[in-house]
Structure 1
Amino acid sequence: MTSSTAIVTGAGQGFGLALTAALAARGTTVVACARNGDRLRAATAALPGVVALAGDVTDPAFRERLVATAGGRLDLLVHNAGELGPSPLPRLERYPLEALRGVLETTVLAPLALTQLALPLLRTSGAGTVVTLSSDAAVEAYPGWGGYGAAKAALDHLAAVLAAEEPDLRVHAFDPGDMRTAMHQRAFPGEDISDRPEPQTVVPAFLRLLDERPPSGRYRAADLAAPAGGLR
């Protein structure tokens, strides 16, 4: 990804920050965004080639600013920003509908809208790649995970259809598995999640996806950590 440009949403902490640091170390210019501007700027201040933009991806004006900041080139668009929903996680019988609208707005609608704006640049990059962050909750039925899981399932399907419509791009849904993040802690309030891997340990699997450019599709970090023959 040397001399390339990327947009990474939700880059202020967790996996988004770990990925931003790894891309910057490769020489990638990263337009990194997060809602908490102070945390984002502090976390990325020492990273070369990182442009930190504070804002909400659900804001149309901010999405336009993100793409404009990338300039005339965009090689990689990573939809990492997401919304867990209420904590503790509620069963569907009492899931607040307004909260679900917020989850869908951040996790599904905003990534689609940002992709629409970025497509012209991605198409002309020669190696345009879109990656959406997935979850096992998108494919497995866990009590309490109905809202978040439904949003991630919808995002997975958007990625699959985009791949069919844009055959010259690589479009991947990337499932990192459980990680020790603030969002994961919110899903399990009061529980010890120290047994989950740190986000930076998952980044090499993501980078392999970029480097080897397998066919568009859904990939799990656990599979990408396997020998090369495991990729489709």
Structure 2
Amino acid sequence: MTRKSQARVALVTGGTAGLGLALTKALAADGWHVITDGRNEGRLKEADLPPVVAAVVGDITDAEHRSALVNRVWEVGRLDLLVHNASTLGPLPMKPLGEVRIEEMAEAWRTNVGAPLVLTGELLPWLRPGESTLVSISSDAAVHHYETWGLYGAGKAALDHLTLTFGAETGVAAYAVDPGDMRTQMHQDAFPGEDISDRPLPETVVPRLLRLLEQRPESGRYRAEDFR
């Protein structure tokens, strides 16, 4: 396929807050052209994204929205990095697995598993073996077992598996990355009423993600702290 953009191109889902926003801004500052999205138009405006960022409003579980993201990639003509960052905790307050309804599981997995699966498939023509990189933001809940975290953790474990299998099938560098606890609204939602001011800001995690992209280790599951 003919490349139109001379700059490296990244698609980061869920780039309006938290780690997604911090990563989007860092990539843009490093000269990347970034495509990102978010469900809330107001939050996208508040994010104060630089001009090199193309922000698309919509829900990642919506097929038309995913098509809009794919079209953006077609317009720029290349894709060097795909980051699956958008996710949901599921029903709040979080609950034990025995209380989770099938409808709640389906809704959470549409965001955390189904949407990344389908979007990656739709973007395979642009993911170049040996050049492009696929990253999914994981969690230690994917490999450890915490009360009330079962639904979220199972989804992240599934996403890890899908990501690394895509890598095995395509030859694209693929990473499932656990960023660790962070001071984000999502983390606060998981621990309502708890003081999370001791957690690191997402901006402190981003340099480790950039180091991973620079070093390009063997495809696999990593912790951000592995790249201090």
Q: Same fold (TM over 0.5)?
A: yes
* 1:83-232 correspondence runs (5 A): 83-123=88-128, 127-167=131-171, 169-225=172-228
Distance 1:207 1:123 in 2: 19
Q: Which consecutive aligned stretches of 4+ in structure 1 deviate over 6 angstroms post-superposition? A: none
* 1:18-33 correspondence runs (5 A): 18-33=22-37
SS at match of 2:109: helix
What do the CA deviations read for 1:7-48 (whole angstroms, capped 9, x no partner)?
110100000000000000011000110111111122134x13
Distance 1:133 1:144 in 2: 20
What do the CA deviations read for 1:51-106 (whole angstroms, capped 9, x no partner)?
11111110111111101112211111100000101222101111122111111000
What do the CA deviations read for 1:114-147 (whole angstroms, capped 9, x no partner)?
00111101127x6111100100000000010010
- Which structure 2 residue ranges, 5 or more long, are not aligned? 1-5
Do the aligned partners of 1:175 and 1:220 also contact (CA within 8 Å) in 2?
yes
**Residue in structure 1 matched with residue 3 of structure 2 by the alignment:** none
Choose the corresponding residue for 1:59, options 57, 62, 68.
62
Distance 1:92 1:104 in 2: 14
Do the aligned partners of 1:44 and 1:50 also contact (CA within 8 Å) in 2?
no
**Residue in structure 2 matched with residue 230 of structure 1 by the alignment:** none
Do the aligned partners of 1:44 and 1:52 also contact (CA within 8 Å) in 2?
no
SS at match of 1:189: coil
SS at match of 1:44: coil
SS at match of 2:164: helix
Distance 1:27 1:33 in 2: 19
CA RMSD of aligned residues (A): 1.2
Do the aligned partners of 1:76 and 1:130 also contact (CA within 8 Å) in 2?
yes
AA at the equivalent of 2:136: T
Distance 2:177 2:140 in 1: 10
TM-score of the two chains, using structure 1 as the length reference: 0.92
TM-score of the two chains, using structure 2 as the length reference: 0.94
Distance 1:81 1:42 in 2: 18
Identity %: 55
SS at match of 2:128: helix
**Residue in structure 2 matched with residue 10 of structure 1 by the alignment:** 14
Distance 1:10 1:87 in 2: 19
SS at match of 2:47: helix
**Residue in structure 2 matched with residue 75 of structure 1 by the alignment:** 80
**Residue in structure 2 matched with residue 228 of structure 1 by the alignment:** none
Do the aligned partners of 1:87 and 1:189 also contact (CA within 8 Å) in 2?
no
Distance 2:7 2:160 in 1: 29
